[in-house]
Structure 1
């Protein structure tokens, strides 16, 4: 093959590869990113071993968290995981750790499951044992009840049928006992005995009805208490002042008494990281508003970013801040006014 023919064939293959790549992108379904996902991802070192750890907290508390560990080394023998409070006396005394299961398809991949019994700031401690010794890595994991899990229709039907059979059986046993317990073997119940059985059966039915009513009341109260326990994010009210300053006022909708607005700690040198995206999705601003008073943050929109002047009107985006006791909270506000703010998330 001549050099010119080889060059044409090479260009043809390049164009075919480019066309295939563009077609693959065009056929991909739309993908939505979720800022503020409860899942935790960490790339860190457990002694001499590098680990990629993924922790998926449960949506309901108590619940089971899924833990995935991927190592970069082939000399790892065992991986153990255990949940601990992030701080306090409980962080010093670890219970017996669970052994993570090695994947049969990938010897570097391990998975495990941990019970998270209470809400709060937790950590998952990963201990790796291999040819180069033992290493430990702790992953902070905030666990908050995020929703109530609904009971599926089939399970509701089965439980209702079982409850009905149990109640009917109790009433039938009580009625038969009152009607026939005093009779001699082979003697039929007379009118008086049958009447006694009906009366006791009616009383038993009332008792069963009262028990079912009280049980339903208890269940409703517990469900209501848990619904109030479900995580409620902080709320923010964004405004633009007359001097072109972006102001975020945080509000606590009332979740737990231990959450405050005066215990934020810096992350990478800033209390808040605010991301603004215009509706056209053609640019992104990463801002660091300053705390003016407790729960109030401001940013001068006239301040240049990377040598260019920014505009905060008509943008939306998330922001994040961390608490001293561990964990971060999300703030939602939805509004549309002359400044064009759609949503702010902290």
Structure 2
């Protein structure tokens, strides 16, 4: 049974590991000028193709919403005109935009209404992950029509060199009949060669398209036992990168939330142990960091990285962590790496208690963190959510004395969440702003303001050195300085009346998300309180999309 589960997880991850896992849609909530909106974009799985854009307006009387794609390479100067979205119901607008180029893109949302105009940039990754098969009925119909056209063409050519030249009432002579058949034979050969050439061209084009279908980055995770300390390592496989045209991609990675890599380790099949850690770059293909005191077992690994264009990718693997009798030194309380142990997804409440354990909840219930504070997920208990529908996952945070808790910034955000389906086929790292890397949003804001029509690939050595210098600068900061720097960099701080930067947030944290398919999911919620990262777990059942 264990071997079967291992094979299942490896198979699922190997096919779905791109830009998060199994979660292709993009959700973003933000301010388009004076309007607070929620955007849900479902990109196509074949490029060129159309992306479905849905905009929910939460305030104001909006009269017009438009959307247009902005490509990283060509920027604003090379972007097409905006397409108007149609009001499908009150405060909801829908429409399609064409994504013509593969790679890192964005959708510019333009809003107009009683409060004036506003815009929002939503990062979108456009990649071909599927190859369309022709429907069987259509194939049969086209084959029949092709045979008819082929026959008509041959007979028409034969008639044009024989029958069409005969005077009225005269029969076809033997020489002319022979000429007719010769010309029909030549025409058959020529038409057959044309069909063969067309078929060869089509097959070659299809093979080229298949060759350029998105291939997930391959990597292997491992645990190195070094006496009293265990090291977690991710090694990236670049053996076939030349054929995939990835080039020097690893030298042009950019930090997201101040980290080059965010790695999540989740024990399977129970999803009852979780770690969020940040391996550091040792060389161009190796990242590693200390492994927390996770219990033994099989773990699925998701490691997120972001390219300089804003294109994010997830490296996946499974590892076995052995039971470790020597407990590693505890990390300082301000450590940005963290882990928890909780009850299994299929057996709630079945866990031995200690300092690192939390008990999971569900919508309408609470999860108590390790320090006694707790979170309540706003929602109706035992009511399944619907796949394909955009939701606001709202969590209210409280202190141990039941007073509202104002979380502290954690890696430049007021909270993080990881959503995982029970079989590992869906994984996504969420932020209050949406289901995309914050670095991508900033890149496209800068790209939109850039007047360069075509952007060039940066020099890898210079780029890598500048990123390393940036990371060194962050490490030298105090925790408070680093969080303030990251919050400002990602636009989480806004100037106030006194000219100082301030932060306006309460005890509620919201994550926009659309569950891609039905099943059982676990949500790991992360907030920071008293300089300590706290993690809670919530479970939800998702039903299939409703049929209209």
1:170-189 equivalences in 2 (<5 Å):
170-189=153-172
Deviations 1:158-210 (A, max 9, x none): 11112111111110111112222331122111222211111111111111111
Structure 2 CA distance for partners of 1:93 and 1:265, relative to 1, 3 Å: same
Q: Does 1:59 align with 2:45?
A: yes
8 Å contact 1:57–1:65 — kept in the other structure? yes
Q: Secondary structure at the match of 2:221?
A: strand
The change in CA–CA distance for 1:76 and 1:312 in structure 2 (over 3 A counts) is farther
Measured in 2, the distance between the counterparts of 1:310 and 1:261 equals 29
Distance 2:115 2:258 in 1: 36
| Structure 1 equivalent of residue 212 of structure 2 | 229
- In structure 1, what is the equivalent of residue 92 of structure 2? 109
Equivalence map 1:151-300=2 (5 Å): 151-243=134-226, 244-252=230-238, 253-254=240-241, 255-257=244-246, 260-279=249-268, 280-300=270-290
Aligned to 2:83: 98
Task: Report the TM-score, using the length of structure 1 for normalisation.
Answer: 0.81
**1:139 — aligned with what?**
122
Do the aligned partners of residues 219 and 93 (structure 1) sit closer, same or farther apart at CA in structure 2, a change above 3 Å counting? closer
**Is 1:129 aligned to residue 94 of structure 2?**
no
Q: What is the distance in 2 between the residues matched to 1:275 and 1:116?
A: 31
Residues 54, 162 of structure 1: alpha-carbon distance in 2 compared, 3 angstrom cutoff: same
Looking at structure 1, the residues matched to 191 and 121 of structure 2 have their Cα atoms a distance apart, in angstroms, of 51
Moved over 4 A (4+): 336-340, 342-346
Q: Number of matched residues?
A: 302
The 3-state SS of whatever aligns with 2:54 is: strand
CA offsets 1:96-118 (integer angstroms, 9 cap, x no match): 21110001xx2110001011111
- Aligned equivalents of 1:142, 1:257: Cα separation in 2: 16
Name the CA shift for 1:80/1:314 in 2 (closer, same or farther; >3 Å): same
Equivalent position of 1:38 in the other structure: 24
- Alpha-carbon deviations, 1:59-109, whole Å to 9, x = none? 1111011111001024111001111113x5532464321110001xx2110
Unaligned 5+ segments in structure 1 are: 1-33, 304-308
Question: Residues 82 and 96 of structure 1 are in contact (CA less than 8 Å); yes or no, is this contact kept in structure 2?
Answer: yes
| Paired residue secondary structure (2:128) | coil
Distance 2:295 2:235 in 1: 19
Contact kept? 1:248, 1:297, Cα under 8 Å:
yes
- Residues 299 and 320, structure 2, Cα contact 8 Å, conserved in 1: no
Tell me if structure 1 keeps the 8 A contact 2:302–2:317.
Answer: no
* Structure showing greater Rg: 1
Larger RCO (alpha carbons 8 Å, 6+ apart)? 2
Of stretches 134-143 and 258-267 in structure 1, the one that deviates more from structure 2 is 258-267
Matches of 2:81 and 2:308, distance apart in 1: 28
Partner of 2:311: 327
TM-score where L is the length of structure 2: 0.52
Deviation at 1:258, TM superposition (A): 5.0
Cα distance, 1:58 vs structure 2: 0.9
Structure 2 CA distance for partners of 1:36 and 1:326, relative to 1, 3 Å: farther
Aligned to 1:82: 68
Q: Rate the CA distance shift 1:155–1:89 in 2: closer, same or farther, 3 A.
A: closer
C-alpha change, 1:143 and 1:297, in structure 2 (3 Å) is same
Report deviation, 1:241. Answer: 1.9
Alpha-carbon distance between aligned partners in 2 of 1:320 and 1:117, rounded to the nearest angstrom: 26
